[in-house]
Structure 1
Amino acid sequence: MEITKLSADDEVGCAEAVAVDSAGWKLDLPEMVQHTPRSFANMLRYGWDLVPPRAYLAREDGIPVGLLTVDVPKYDNTNQTWIDVKVHPDHRGRGIGSELVGYGENLTRELGRNVVGFGGLDLPKAEAFAQRHGFEQKAVEVNRRQDLSGLDWGIVQRLYDEAVAASSAYELVKLTGSLPDDMLDGMVAVTESINDAPKDDLDIDDDVYSPERLRAYEEAQAKSDRTLYRVVARKKDTGELAGHTVIAVERERPHIGEQHDTAVSRDHRGHRLGALLKSSMLLWLREEEPALTQVDTWNAESNNHMIGINEQLNYKIVSRFLIYQKTV
């Protein structure tokens, strides 16, 4: 078996990688939003915030059989990598996945890092695979999807109206694309509020944000051909930024959206700002993105507060992922 690093400019290689990835999802979880060759190449160019992952394609006799992606954090948790392994269903059970895991672990050591993270569907075969390779379960994440075509907009409007009444000291600012310069520093503090979300037993430090990292995120999303919609809550009397929610809409597939962040700063909680932000965003997107039919979000299974809001807004569970780590 030959394992080669993929380049974003390798159109054939990216298409082969997506074929392997998609074949696995179609068998294990057909509802999962899958990459296109274009979105996969953009991931390799830009990543989430200009820290792209590395991808390696495994071939046997020239036939693509497996895919390894390795995220190498830059801004925080620099002792870690996060790997993802896919094996084409036609070639499973022959040790290909194990070889790719070993490849990822060796790369982690070569980078001077000592912790590897790994996520897998909550399926017996996936759990057995993780345990066989010495990974310890540390958390559970749940992917939920909002069906906008079946959304009761009366519920959304009522949630919005009730939240407005409870948050009269705040105003909303709607933004598309990049933040204005005068909001950048304040948004760093708001974004850091995501660190209050449950980490369960994960061996991870808090995410570290800066104006430069927020700009890198905006640039990566724009270059990946996604439109960012952001609603920000701001205190009327002081101008202090209190919370925000962000949804990215694909331009290649404008029916698909992804919830990137919802956070309320600790000093401003208790005013129903989370419900206000999310309901306001939906009402805005109904006008701005008429083709949008679904929005995916990810939460720790233990994040009861955010899950409670999402369930009011017609989010349904798509998948449950077990998150593992090991020391190498």
Structure 2
Amino acid sequence: MTAAAWTVTPLVLPDSVDSPEAWALHGVAHLERLSEESTWGHADLYSPARTRLTVMRNQTHTEKVALVATRPPGAGGPSPDDVVGVAFLWMEREGNSHLVQAGITVHPQVLRSGVGTALVRGVEEVAAERGRTTVIFETDHLGEPPADAQDVVTPPTGAGRIAGDAPGVAFARGLDYSLEQGDRFSCLRLQDVDPSRVDTFLAESRAAAGEDYELVTWLDRCPEEHVEQLASLSTLMTTAIPVAGLDLVEHVYSVEEVRQREQASLDAGRRSLVTAVRHRPSGELVAYSEIVLPADAPAAAFQENTLVAPAHRGHRLGMLVKAQNLVELRTLRPGAERLHTWNAEENRHTLSINEALGFEPVGVVALWQKKLG
């Protein structure tokens, strides 16, 4: 895959970030940081080269591939500055074995030059080689147009607006991708959070839950007596949240995969704070919420999965686990400044909890899908 000014090739993982062969990996990390700062105004979401290498090496349950667009090298040989685009591909080995999920990043200086198109075509080629029939990729959009805006694009769910002239819209449509869902990207500025307000939410949700429910909190590794139930909740998470028209199916988590994910997170320098709810009469875990804490970005934290089992909804367990995690976060990472999260725009119940806690909308992540012929 070549053009006059650049070439797209698979990223070859170096032995270490200090290896001369790591130039492309460092170029990718620099490009990601540039893109995140340009879009969101901070670099919380980018992965340093060392973290990216650790994540890419872990191929146990998900095959990970990166395609890199580079300029021709100069007289001194290839360098990180030669990287002008990257596509990351994630392919589950079980469950969604028909699917490629991708992230596309192009250097601002070469937008609309064909780099992005070549990267998506490369993603589709990999999908075809692997016998996969659906590709999903994202585009990021700062802010959201008002409800009365005229030139907007909205997914079939009716929730999650992006400007019709936003970068990425014509790009995705021109490649025959359909907008299927919009995720709200939100941020809680932790220094502005009133601890007494969180404590009040915690007390109120404890009272609403009643004596049948108790909290269980752990760091990094789920207690052995709960890990099978966590695997079941993780499986439920793959189907119990809104997925709109995305071609997603259940992914069944085993205890082995839960343990592997925990270790992989630690290997990548990411700690995991989890609060769960145990239903005393049955002894089962019926809700959980996770916050991830990256070592390389001490000002940032990420609100990841939150789930309440359908049979136990209506007891304010969602607010309970989130409020307890915020209390735990005060001690575990007192210097954290921003807590980021993503939720389907049609998931009004979860968004309401987030808004009550003080999360504010930052933008929309558009999910584009194409079924390959």
RMSD (Å), alpha carbons: 1.7
The answer to which of 239-248 and 32-41 deviates more is: 32-41
Q: Aligned to 1:3, what secondary structure does the other structure show? A: strand
Residue 108 of structure 1, CA deviation = 0.6
Q: How does 1:160-199 map to 2 (within 5 A)?
A: 160-168=202-210, 169-194=212-237, 195-199=239-243
Q: Which amino acid aligns with 1:44?
A: M
Q: 2:49 aligns with which of 37, 56, 65?
A: 37
User: Residue 82 of structure 1: which of 101, 125, 136 is its match?
Assistant: 101
What letter corresponds to residue 265 of structure 2 in structure 1?
Q
| Deviation string, structure 1 residues 228-265 (Cα, Å, up to 9, x no partner) | 11111112233221111111111222221111211111
Counterparts of 1:168-317 in structure 2 under 5 Å?
Answer: 168=210, 169-194=212-237, 195-317=239-361
Are 1:3 and 2:46 matched, yes or no?
no
C-alpha distance in 2 between matches for 1:240 and 1:19: 45
Choose from 166, 173, 182 the match for 1:140: 182
Amino acid at match of 1:105: E
2:130 pairs with 1:116: no
Could you tell me how far 1:205 is from its partner in structure 2?
1.1
Q: 1: distance between equivalents of 2:123 and 2:282?
A: 49
User: Following the alignment from structure 1 to structure 2, what is the Cα–Cα distance between the partners of residues 266 and 243?
Assistant: 9
Residue aligning to 2:112: 93
- Amino-acid identity (%): 25
Q: Against the structure 1 CA distance between its residues 125 and 253, is the aligned structure 2 distance closer, same or farther, given a 3 Å change threshold?
A: closer
- The residue that corresponds to 2:150 in the other structure is none
Q: How far 1:24 moved relative to its partner?
A: 2.7
Distance, in Å, in 2 between the alignment partners of 1:310 and 1:31 is 21
Query: Given that residues 85 and 97 in structure 1 are in contact (C-alpha distance below 8 angstroms), is that contact kept between their aligned partners in structure 2?
Result: yes
Contact 2:138 2:366 in 1 (8 A): yes
The Cα shift of 1:267 comes to 1.7
Code of the aligned partner of 1:186: Q
- Secondary structure of the 1:72 match is strand
Equivalent in the alignment of 2:153: none
Equivalent residue, structure 1, for 2:24: 13
* Amino acid corresponding to residue 29 of structure 1 in structure 2: W
State the Cα distance separating 1:291 from its structure 2 match.
Answer: 1.8
Q: Aligned pair 1:53/2:64, yes or no?
A: yes
- Retained in 2: the 8 A contact 1:257–1:294? yes
Q: SS at the partner of 1:238? A: coil
Q: CA deviation at 1:209?
A: 1.7
Q: String of CA shifts for 1:107-131, please: whole Å, max 9, x gaps.
A: 1100111111111124522111000
| Separation (CA, whole Å) in 2 of partners of 1:134 and 1:186 | 41
Amino acid at match of 2:120: V
Say whether the 8 Å CA contact 1:189–1:265 is kept in structure 2. Answer: no
CA distance in 2, matches of 1:36, 1:52: 20
Q: State TM-score, norm by structure 2.
A: 0.83
The answer as to whether partners of 2:301 and 2:340 remain within 8 angstroms in 1 is yes
Question: Following superposition, which runs of at least 4 residues in structure 1 exceed 6 angstroms of deviation?
Answer: none
Alpha-carbon contact 1:50-1:220 (below 8 Å) kept: no
In the alignment, residue 184 of structure 2 is paired with which amino acid?
A: V
* Counterpart Cα distance in 2 of 1:284 and 1:26: 29
Q: What letter is aligned with 1:99?
A: A
Give the Cα separation in 2 of the matches to 1:292 and 1:22: 19
One-letter amino acid of the structure 1 residue matched with residue 32 of structure 2 = D
Structure 2 unpaired stretches of 5+:
1-5, 74-81, 142-162
More divergent stretch after superposition (116-125 vs 225-234) = 116-125
Deviates more, 1:191-200 or 1:64-73: 191-200
Q: How far off is 1:189 after superposition?
A: 2.2
Higher relative contact order (CA 8 A, sep 6+): 1
How many residues align? The count is: 327
Partner SS, residue 93 of structure 2: coil
